[in-house]
Amino acid sequence: MELGQMLADSGGGFGALFTALGLNWQALILNAIAVLLVVWILGHFVFPTLIKALDSKRDELTAATRLEQAAKEALERGRTEVNSLINEARTTADEIITEARAEAAAMAKASSDKAEVQAGRIIDEGRAQLAHDVTTARQSLRRETAHLVASATEKIIDVKLDGAKDEALITAVLGGRR
C-alpha cells in the first residue's frame, strides 16, 4: 500500500511510478536502447562470425571423427590381415618342419641302410679274406710238413730220394691221414 499512496501523493502518472521505484525513466530508456543496439550489433556482426567459426569447428570435428572412424576400421582390417598372415606363416612353418623331419628321417634311414649294406660287404670281404688266408695257411703248412717229413725221413734212412720219389713216399705216408 505504500506504493499506491506514493503514487497518489506524487500526483499520479507513469513518471511517478518510476520515481517511486527509484528509477530514472529517461536513463532506463537510454539503457534499453543501448542494450538493443548492442544486441543488434552482436547479432549482425559478431554472432554470424562466431556461428561461422563454430560451424567450421563442428565440420572439422565431424571430419576428424570420420577420419578417426576410418583409421579405426583400417587398423582393424590391418590387424585382421596381420593375424591372417601370421596364421598362414605358422601353417607354412609347421608344414616345412614336418617335411624337414620326414626328410631327415628318410635320410637317416637311407644312411642306416647304406651303413648296414657297407658293414655287410665289409664282413663278407673279411670272411672271404679269412677263408683265403686259412686256405693259404693250410697249403703252406702242408708244404712245410711235407718238407719236414722228407728231411726227417732222409735223416732216418740216410738215403736221398729225388723229388718224385719224395712226393710219392710222403703221399703214401700221409695218405691214410688225410
- Supply the pLDDT for residue 176: 57
Work out the percent of the chain whose per-residue pLDDT is above 70. 85
DSSP per position, 106-138: HHHHHHHHHHHHHHHHHHHHHHHHHHHHHHHHH
| SS percent in the chain: helix, strand, coil, step 5 | 90, 0, 10
Residues 131, 136, 137: CA angle, nearest 5 degrees: 95
Q: Render pLDDT for 69-114 as a digit per residue (tens, 0 to 9).
A: 999 999 999 999 999 999 999 999 999 999 999 999 999 999 999 9
42-70: average pLDDT:
94
Judge if pTM exceeds 0.85.
no
Name the residue with higher pLDDT: 118 or 10: 118
Lowest-confidence segment of 6-10, 89-93, 134-138 by average pLDDT: 6-10
